Structure 1
Amino acid sequence: MERRTAEDRGTGTDGDTAAAPLPGRAAVVIVGGGVLGASVAFHLAEAGVRGVLLLERDTPAAGSSGKPVGGVRAQFSDPLNIRIGRRSLEAWRAFGERPGADIGFAQVGYLFLLGDATERALFEEGVAAQNALGVPSRIIGPAEAAALCPYLDPDSIVAAAHCPTDGYALPREAVAGYLRAAARHGAAIRTHCPVTAIDIRDGALDAVRTPHGTVRTTTVICCAGAWSAEVGAMAGVRLPVTPLRRQIAFTGPLDTPPPRIPFTLDFASTAYFHNDGAGGLLLGMSDPRQQPGFGREFSREWLAPFREAAGRRAPALATLPVSHGWAGLYETTPDHNALIGEAADVPRFLYATGFSGHGFLQAPAVGELIRDLYLGREPFLDIGPLAASRFDGPAGEGNAGHTGARPEAHII
Structure 2
Amino acid sequence: MVNDRVVTELPRHAEVVIIGGGIIGVCVAYRLAEAGTDVLLLDRDSLGGGSTAKAAGGIRSSFTSRVNLELGLRGLAEYGGFAARHGVEIDFRRDGYLYLITDPAELPEFERCVGLQNSYGVRSRLVDPAEARRVSPLIDVDGVVAALWSPDDAKATPDSAVQGYAKVARRHGAVLRTGVEVVGIDRDGDEITGVRTSAGLVRTSVVVCAAGAWSGRVGEFAGVDLPVRPYRRQVVFTGPVAGLGESVPLTIEMPSTFYFHREGTGLAMSFCEGDGDPGFDTRYQPGEWLPKLAEIAGRRVPAVLDAGIKSAWAGLYEMTPDHNQIVGRSVSLPGFFYATGFSGHGFQMGPAVGAVLRDLCLGREPEIDIGELDVRRFAGDQAGSREHNIV
Q: Given the two structures, how large is their TM-score scaled by the length of structure 1? A: 0.90
> 5+ residue gaps in structure 1?
1-14
Q: In the alignment, which of 359, 362, 369 is matched to residue 382 of structure 1?
A: 369
Describe the SS at the equivalent of 1:53. Answer: strand
CA RMSD of aligned residues (A): 1.7
Give, in whole Å, the separation in 2 of the partners of 1:133 and 1:237: 35
Deviation per CA, 1:185-221: give whole Å up to 9, x if none: 0000111001001000132000001111100000000
Q: Which residue identity does 1:409 align to in structure 2?
A: N
| Equivalent in the alignment of 1:279 | 265
Describe the SS at the equivalent of 2:328. Answer: strand
- Are 1:132 and 2:112 counterparts? no
Q: CA deviation at 1:261?
A: 1.4
Q: 1:134 to 1:16 in 2, by over 3 A?
A: farther
Partners of 1:246 and 1:287 within 8 A in 2: no
- Are 1:42 and 2:30 counterparts? yes
Give, in whole Å, the separation in 2 of the partners of 1:224 and 1:16: 25
| Equivalent in the alignment of 1:10 | none
Matches within 5 A, 1:139-288: 139-254=126-241, 257-276=244-263, 278-288=264-274
Q: CA deviation at 1:317?
A: 3.1
Give, in whole Å, the separation in 2 of the partners of 1:363 and 1:328: 18
Deviation per CA, 1:77-117: give whole Å up to 9, x if none: 11111111111110010111333311111110000001132
Give, in whole Å, the separation in 2 of the partners of 1:46 and 1:143: 48
Partners of 1:16 and 1:191 within 8 A in 2: no
| Equivalent in the alignment of 2:19 | 31
| Equivalent in the alignment of 1:3 | none
- Are 1:409 and 2:389 counterparts? yes
Q: 1:16 to 1:88 in 2, by over 3 A?
A: farther
- Are 1:400 and 2:384 counterparts? yes
Q: 1:391 to 1:149 in 2, by over 3 A?
A: same
Q: 1:330 to 1:119 in 2, by over 3 A?
A: same
Q: 1:376 to 1:219 in 2, by over 3 A?
A: same
- Are 1:296 and 2:312 counterparts? no
> 5+ residue gaps in structure 2?
none
Q: In the alignment, which of 72, 77, 80 is matched to residue 93 of structure 1?
A: 80
Give, in whole Å, the separation in 2 of the partners of 1:257 and 1:159: 23
Q: CA deviation at 1:25?
A: 0.5
Paired residues in the alignment total: 388
Give, in whole Å, the separation in 2 of the partners of 1:24 and 1:239: 27
Describe the SS at the equivalent of 1:340. Answer: strand
Give, in whole Å, the separation in 1 of the partners of 2:4 and 2:86: 22
State which drifts further: 316-325 or 136-145. Answer: 316-325
Q: 1:16 to 1:275 in 2, by over 3 A?
A: farther
Give, in whole Å, the separation in 2 of the partners of 1:185 and 1:105: 24
Deviation per CA, 1:347-387: give whole Å up to 9, x if none: 11000000001001111100011011111222111111101
Q: Given the two structures, how large is their TM-score scaled by the length of structure 2? A: 0.95
Partners of 1:307 and 1:319 within 8 A in 2: no
| Equivalent in the alignment of 2:10 | 22
Structure 1 runs of 4+ aligned residues shifted over 4 Å read 15-18, 255-259
Q: Which residue identity does 2:389 align to in structure 1?
A: A
Q: Percent identity?
A: 46
Deviation per CA, 1:126-170: give whole Å up to 9, x if none: 000000011110111111110111121233211110111112110
Give, in whole Å, the separation in 2 of the partners of 1:339 and 1:23: 29
Give, in whole Å, the separation in 2 of the partners of 1:344 and 1:124: 38
State which drifts further: 237-246 or 318-327. Answer: 318-327
State which drifts further: 256-265 or 164-173. Answer: 256-265
Matches within 5 A, 1:288-367: 288=274, 290-301=276-287, 302-318=289-305, 320-367=307-354
